[in-house]
Structure 1
């Protein structure tokens, strides 16, 4: 039986924060294959992401709050082997869709390992780490999800047509990922990890996130215009409004006291942002059938 600490570190509920781009890919899919849609969702969110979370936790050995866990329990060797098992299952199941999807799951799994493992430890490089995470959780995840949802092979995918929406996912990650590090400066410093958020500071992280998200909003607007999605153009800011209000309110508190950049506030922002994007992309999906 799996230990409670292992289940906690797999952070399966935390996968909701990583769900928006899968839903975005679904909303832009011309002919979703329902069995592959369900299977790929399970592979990515119930096996790959927990595997990545567990592997990262095992090598980080955090003592302070981390994404989705306020008080992380000590890690065990069981967590390491369970994360590898989940990864093996994810790649194995991906072959049911096609070998191209399986290859993409394998590659993103290797990138995840390189991010955390002591030998490579990309996490300790502020710019390189941010770019790797943003690329694989953004562009790569969008393309991987799109391919699987539609049951397509590489030769059947119009990469040029998908490049803009996929790049928008990476742009959102470039803005949001540093914010997930804003409360971990002490813990990252103890391990010698110079994350991007540590490099630019707490207030700098808020300014960076606001700036990149503004560019991202412009990018989404341009994309909706090119797709003649006028309704989406006006609906997008409405779905994002709760996140914007919370972000600005929180930033004012941080300007007065940097201790306000804590775990609970970060998780609230993550939840609002993720749910806002998910709701909006579900709305886009429904628009296709109206």
Structure 2
């Protein structure tokens, strides 16, 4: 089984790790919107992480890392990110805009990485992020008039939590924590159903939720729990561990492009000309980032050969 330190000498291609994640998480937001229509946001989150943890936790050993590290990752990647995100969608944030707002993690991750880990932000990375963020600003300018402020604030807090979880992973790598990423995701997920169910009970969210509602939401919960959590976060954690969060996080800026088009296609969330221009800028920034990563990798290989 993969361990973080096992592949440092034989790194898989970064694109092979992150592009499947982009596709999975791009579809994520449409699935979330369907799910919260059947049950509330906290109930859906509890089901998601229960499915992600059980029964796999009985077959996967707990990572040999401090429990507080697992709990901190669980708090940031799970409870923080998805309590804010699901609540925002439940309050009416369109799925396309939700996929857009959480990509502010690409800004929060390098900033947090700089302050917490003293990680350097190159001018090339900064330039690529500025291009993509300009696309996000264009899209936000086109869509913010149709949404109230609270869902937008919650979506932004979800992005901050995601960025914090990226830095947690990078900090663990800097401490030479050796673990299987799947095991980390499964054990972190196992800590989440209880607090999410407590939040659901405290908010009276379970009132009126019947057996058929649970049955109807199962496909969404299974997608979110197995595909979007176990598979996607396994690849994401592996990528961050091998390439550091500053190199990896800008790829997620492709996710809102998929989210916006799916929202338009499935839910008739109108995608106007301004939003399309913003999407093109987002893609352009990611392309610049990919070229920079490949160029820097080539330079490092040449230096090592000499």
Measured against the shorter chain, the TM-score band is 0.3 to 0.5
Q: State the structure with bigger RCO (CA 8 A, min sep 6), 1 or 2.
A: 2
Q: TM-score, normalised by structure 2?
A: 0.33
